[in-house]
Amino acid sequence: MRVEGTETVRRILCVFPRYTSSFGTFEHAYPLTDGVQAFMPPQGLLLIAAYLPANWPVRFIDENIRAATTEDFEWAEAVFVSGMHIQRQQMNDICRRAHAFDLPVAIGGPSVSACPDYYPSFDYLHVGELGDATNELIARLARDPSRPPRQVVLKTVDRVAMTDFPIPAYELAEVKKYFLGSIQYSSGCPYQCEFCDIPGLYGRNPRLKSPEQILAELDKLRECGVTGSVYFVDDNFIGNRKAALDLLPHLVEWQKRTGYVMRLACEATLNIAKRPEILEKMREAFFVTVFCGIETPDPDALKAMHKDHNMMVPILEGVRTINSYGMEVVSGIIMGLDTDKPETADALLAFVDESQIPLLTINLLQALPKTPLWDRLAREGRLLDDDDSRDSNVAFLLPYDQVVSSWRKCMEVAYQPEKLYARYQYQCDYTYAQRLKVPVTPEQKSWANIRRGLIMLRNIFWKVGVLGDYKKVFWKFALGRLRRGDFEGLIASSMIGHHLIMFARAASGGQQNASNYSIRLREASVPAE
């Protein structure tokens, strides 16, 4: 559904800010691909673009692909920006550049919704989700496209039902330049983990689109050229288990009809391992990866952060169960918890070995506004100002240097090429072997797809197998894959593995932040005009 009844025409420039180099955006993998330049198409900004009046021309620019130019700003009558806390400085920079052209700039999305005071220069703050604030913003711009004399804050009270969401304007994004396609089925999560801002921002009762909307979005993504992997960005895919069960048969049917053109991935709580009926359907729908916020293998720590639901099955058993349905587990891990001890790093590394999880995003604890953690630390006087000398705003109970050096040690050891490739080998033998054997479609046999695969193989063989400094480990793995004719497994593991190895080296050498939210090292990443 689009907003209606606006006859005035306004040209809107939607600008998505650059990400800072991060563990989870895979930029070291991009040079091994056939031209990928960014991580995932941003759902929020593309949704707003699709919601704007049909007669309003919209330009979408992802600054991870190219910076907005003078010509873009001269074309526009208003600029929309959206992003997460990690992109705060880049968002403020876009605002500054747009103001140089005297354009009104509006910001929406998760960061401004949690922390409006991070964005004092913007003309319009859109706080909350798509709803009456969005309609008011559009009406104000229709009436008057000049900059308001002072900042206007618009807060959504009545949200648009997700069943009325239009399909995000994927056609405006250069989807082929993204590492993954993205899609959203639900918003919100019923749990209340202490550090997480999702329940505070989006509620505990997940809101949902209809299965028909999801299929229409998948069709559109496919029309726009997405092949390969599509990530459900839902906060928790099983936040409403019944809804997941309602959707899955539709996904299975869509995959069968289209020849399993997409590999699917999602985020879900680890207690999904207790739901074989969901896991079986996910396997049939060709879900191949599940991101689980395991956070820590320490039961006391899980209890303290109110993540007891991770203990509904023993963690390692849960991981094995998910693997047995052909799905690789990706895990979030947090260090710097109050329950951490001097031996936490060793316990974590033992867990990495035992779980055989190849990809774990290991971050230092950061307190986000609108979380119970933030409130508790504020009460305890342990919230520190963000500054460039630290990678976290939390006063840890252990000395800061000890926590950071534990984190560096974990990054260094967990991502040694031998260890990482051994975990990938395990996944090939025990997880990927359980996946559905899907037919080779005409699309996959097409010359364009074969050419794409050949380009990636050439890049991998040259940049990792010839020029790389861990080539012996790589070839041992690669030859095994080649003997089995598993080109897809070889390409996927080598690309992601290369990113993890390169990023972890920079991290353990002190050249990367220990937290995805830290502002340290961010200055240099603001794009030049």
| Closer of 368 and 420 to ligand SF4 (Cβ) | 368
Residue type at 27 in one-letter notation: E
Residue 84: CB minimum distance to ligand SF4, A: 14
Q: Is the CB of residue 235 less than 8 Å from the CB of residue 208?
A: no
Out of 33, 113, 213, 236, point to the residue binding ligand SF4 (CB under 6 A).
Answer: 236
Residue 332 beta carbon to ligand SF4: minimum distance, rounded to whole angstroms:
8
> Shortest gap between Cβ of 240 and ligand SF4 (angstroms)?
12
The two beta strands, 262-267 and 186-187, are unpaired
Question: Binding string to ligand SF4 for residues 173 to 202, with x set by CB under 6 A, is what?
Answer: ----------------x-xxx--x-xx---
Within residues 59-118, the interface with ligand SF4 by CB under 6 A covers none
Q: Output the smallest distance, CB 195 to ligand SF4, in A.
A: 7
User: Least CB distance from residue 208 to ligand SF4, whole Å?
Assistant: 15
Binding-site string for ligand SF4 from residue 394 to residue 433, where x marks contact by CB under 6 A and - marks none:
----------------------------------------
Distance, in Å, from the CA atom of 80 to the CA atom of 61, rounded to the nearest integer, reads 10
For ligand SF4, the closer of residues 192 and 402 by Cβ is 192
Q: Which residues, numbered 269-298, are part of the site for ligand SF4 (CB under 6 A)? A: 269, 293
Nearer to ligand SF4, 291 or 351 (CB): 291
Q: Which is nearer to ligand SF4, 189 or 285 (CB)?
A: 189
Upper half-sphere CA count for residue 280 (Cβ side, 13 Å): 4
**H helices of 259-392, where?**
276-284, 299-304, 315-324, 344-355, 372-379
CA distance 23 to 179: 14
Question: What is the total count of residues that contact ligand SF4 (CB under 6 A)?
Answer: 11
Min CB(201)–ligand SF4 separation in Å:
10
Residue type at 423?
R
Determine contact, residues 104/76, Cβ cutoff 8 Å. Answer: no
Q: How far apart are CA 28 and CA 12, in angstroms?
A: 33
Q: Report the nearest approach of ligand SF4 to the CB of residue 273 (Å).
A: 14
Q: Which is nearer to ligand SF4, 98 or 243 (CB)?
A: 243
In degrees and rounded to multiples of 5, residue 14 shows phi and psi of: -100, 125
Closer Cβ to ligand SF4, 176 or 376, answer by number: 376
* Alpha carbons 11 and 79: distance in angstroms, whole number: 9
Measured from the CB atom, the residue of 195 and 325 that comes closer to ligand SF4 is 195
Q: Which is nearer to ligand SF4, 199 or 468 (CB)?
A: 199
In the stretch 198-227, what mask flags binding to ligand SF4 with x, by CB under 6 A?
xx----------------------------
Residues 6+ apart with CB under 8 A from 91: 17, 81, 83, 107, 111, 119
Q: Which residues contact 82 (CB under 8 A, 6 or more apart)?
A: 14, 16, 42, 44, 45, 48, 107, 108, 109
Closer residue to ligand SF4 (CB): 44 or 468: 44
Q: Tell me which residue of 74, 79, 81, 78 sits closest to 142, measured CA to CA.
A: 78
Minimum CB distance to ligand SF4, residue 253 (Å): 28
Residue ranges of alpha helices (H) inside 396-470 are 400-414, 417-426, 442-445, 447-460
Residue 47 vs 189, nearer CB to ligand SF4: 189
For ligand SF4, which is the closer residue by CB, 321 or 459? 321
Which of these, 310, 314, 208, 209, lies nearest to 268 by C-alpha position? Answer: 310
Q: How far is the CB of 324 from ligand SF4 (least distance, A)?
A: 22
Tell me the one-letter amino acid at 31: P
Considering all CA atoms of the chain, what is the largest pairwise distance in Å, rounded to the nearest integer? 68
Residues of this chain, 5-24, that bind ligand SF4 according to CB under 6 A: none
Which residues make Cβ contacts (< 8 Å) with residue 366, sequence separation at least 6? 195, 392, 393, 394, 515, 516, 517, 518
Under rule CB under 6 A, residue 233 binds ligand SF4 = no
Nearest approach, Cβ of 293 to ligand SF4 (angstroms)? 5
Residues 6+ apart with CB under 8 A from 496: 26, 29, 358, 359
Which residues sit at the interface with ligand SF4, rule CB under 6 A? Answer: 189, 191-193, 196, 198-199, 235-236, 269, 293
